[in-house]
Amino acid sequence: MVLVLVAAIAVGSILAAAIIYFSTDGPDKAPLTRSSTDLPSSHSSRLSVAPTTRGIFRTVEHPCAAVSWAPIATEVGRPGNDPQESISSAGAVTTMRCSAAIGEGENRGVAMAQMTIVDNSSAEGIYEGLQRAIPDAVTLTPISDLGTAAYAYVEKGIGPAVVTYDGNMHLRLVWVPLHRQPLPMYGTMARALAEVARQVLEYLRV
């Protein structure tokens, strides 16, 4: 329960980070997303990535070194610059965060990764606890071959998200669009986030 609470507090910082990025554009530029149940049906059955190898994961001094936003930039344009990163610890749990503003014009947004490492323990409890906290009305799309278990969904008021865990790491990535995006774009961004997640797992594996 303690591990889930620590992770939940860390998850809450994601929207705050987005607000920091968007505030320079004024209040009329607040992030707009559709409801959490608006995942296109063509993307609601299953996603997949190249198989990953199970393992144990490490912390790093610079979290953004573990995250390549190239799959996101491929879909929305200009790669992110001036990424923001932070590390916090509470007992046996270390949370690393990386975020970057990416895209051009109507495709601009903020991509964020949260990597939670548990010392000498499985991250399964965090994964299951946070999954249970998601409202029943939200559709969770399974992702094959990503970590031990993984899913994608659209979080109301934020945007597409991908969540996975493997060994001692829980990983959550989100895309927060600055402007309202067409529904098919949510499925596209979920696939891109899944690929970013796969690369993060590969980088942090011991």
Break the chain into its structural domains and give their ranges: 2-204
pTM above 0.75, yes or no: yes
Distance from first CA to last CA of the chain, Å, rounded?
26
CA-CA distance, 80 to 110, in Å (whole number)?
A: 9
CA-CA distance, 116 to 17, in Å (whole number)?
A: 17
Contact 145, 52 (CB under 8 A): yes
Positive or negative torsion for Cα 15, 18, 22, 23: positive
Across the chain, how many H-helices and E-strands are there? 5, 8
- How many Cβ atoms are within 10 Å of 178's Cβ, its own excluded? 21
Give, for all 206 residues of the chain, the pLDDT tens digit.
Answer: 545 544 544 445 544 444 444 443 433 333 333 344 444 444 446 687 777 777 899 999 999 999 999 999 999 998 877 899 999 999 999 999 999 999 998 899 999 999 999 998 999 999 999 999 999 999 999 999 999 999 999 998 899 999 999 999 999 999 999 988 766 788 999 999 999 999 999 999 99
Please give the structure tokens belonging to residue 51: 């198989």
Please give the structure tokens belonging to residue 50: 């190249």
